[in-house]
Amino acid sequence: MRRIGTLQDSTQARQFCDYLVTLSIDATIDSDGEGPDEMWNLWIRDEKDVERARQEFAEFQRSPTDGRYRVEAEASRLRDERVAEQQRREAVQLETQRSMPRES
């Protein structure tokens, strides 16, 4: 994982992270503390996405209120789909393991 930047506003950090998810960029945020000096770190999971995420972050910083960043519902839907797909894969893998003949 690579940190691409920080934001002081948690709402903007979540909004930007959601936007990246809609671009198929696996991103997450975390806080480096509490209180008025709290900063939110923006993390990109896959190295291949870092450059694009940095470019998007630069654009976001220029215009964080742009309507294209209001994608919370879409990001939530995509995350739910990913979780469901992962659960499906795990179920198939478990079923495959159960159906394999055991060695004596």
pLDDT in tens, 10-20: 999 999 999 99
Report pLDDT for 34: 78
What is the spatial distance between Cα 102 and Cα 98, in angstroms, rounded to a whole number?
9
Across the range 78-83, mean pLDDT stands at 92
Q: What is this structure's pTM?
A: 0.79
Q: Are 3 and 17 in contact (CB under 8 A)?
A: no
Report pLDDT for 95: 87
| DSSP secondary structure code for residue 49 in this structure | G
Across the range 69-95, mean pLDDT stands at 93
| Phi/psi of residue 7, nearest 5 degrees | -135, 150
Q: Are 5 and 57 in contact (CB under 8 A)?
A: yes
Residue 104 has pLDDT above 70, yes or no: no
Give me the residue label for tokens 């994608």: 71
Axis-axis angle for helices 72-99, 10-22 (nearest 10): 60
27-62 pLDDT tens trace: 999 998 777 789 999 999 999 999 999 999 999 999
